[in-house]
Amino acid sequence: MALPPKLLIQSAKFIWTTMWKTMMQSLAPGDRSGAYQRPESQFRNMIGAEPYIAEADRYVLYVGYGCPWAHRTLVMRALKGLESTIAVAVAIPSNDQGIWLLETSSESCKTVPELYQLARSGYDGRSTVPILWDKKTKTIVNNESGDIIEILNSAFNQFAAYPDRDFYPEELKPSIDDWNDRIYHGINNGVYRCGFAQTQGAYDQACGELFALLDELEVVLEQSRYVCGDRLTLVDVRLFTTLFRFDVVYYSLFKCDRQRISDYPNLGGYLRDLYQIPGIADTCRLEDVKRDYYGNLFPLNPGGIIPSTPNVSRLLAAHDRDRPFPRSIG
């Protein structure tokens, strides 16, 4: 069938491009080159000293199951066995309001922005998940996922089912910190830098850095079971939640389509290995991931059509990651 007349095409492109840039600048603010710039988290307190001491049934994790940053806190909560110590409250993104709604009213709030206002009156920053909330002082302790998984790793050991599991051991901290920085920029945030790029140049740079680091990790994982050797660490937790979403969301919606994770022999097996660790699969909700990305990121998917994609059964296949490796690279 023929396209509409030339004038209509030109007018529609102008209107849509103008609206798209306006929405993208609000959704994912960019710099002058069109590269996405993730805003800094505003609540960065830790647990351990007054006023935030470790207590059972005092703190709540507010999460969205589609969000990779929130997902890593759920993974760490499961790995440490803190389910009976720290409650979870679920947020769901609104596809027409552009905010997180609370699945169940909490602290007399129905939305995540209301929680932020309760914590800090007049707050005008981003209202995001995850949130580590203190029921005693009625405030947000921390909303930075990297901090929260460190807190869960060590601050509640007296209540944890697995207190001896340390995913941030002293002897590996330099390696863990280095990998965390690189993986955050190149992969965790890198997929967003691809999907939210507002210019071709910004996209090309982000995509090149993303796959260069994935290729490097493929080589590393040929030599060791986990990124820092034969021991599961915070690096693996932070990497897992991005890889879990990659083939289903980032590959197509965010234009990260040079290669799927399942096409990498080592990264693919590594993803299956982590998914099959007891407790982790229970934190993974693929349908929520698809709904939240495809159904709510209107500027990237105006039709709101959610594609039919493989289910998680593929992650239950054999991984061969428990084989002997030639050396430890911790």
Catalytic residues: 67, 192
CB 176 within 8 A of CB 73: no
Three-state DSSP class for 44?
Answer: strand
Nearest to 109 by CA among 144, 140, 147: 140
Q: How far is CA 87 from the centre of its chain?
A: 20
Structure tokens at 276: 């099959």
Sequence-separated (6 or more) residues with CB below 8 Å from residue 161: 80, 81, 82, 84
Strand 109-111 relative to strand 131-134: parallel, antiparallel, unpaired?
A: unpaired
CA 198 from centre of chain: 21
Helices (H), the chain: 6-27, 68-80, 112-119, 145-154, 173-183, 190-195, 200-223, 234-245, 265-275, 286-296
The span from the CA of 309 to the CA of 307, in Å, is 6
- SS3 for 252? coil
73, 145 in Cβ contact below 8 A? yes
- Give the three-state DSSP class for 133: strand
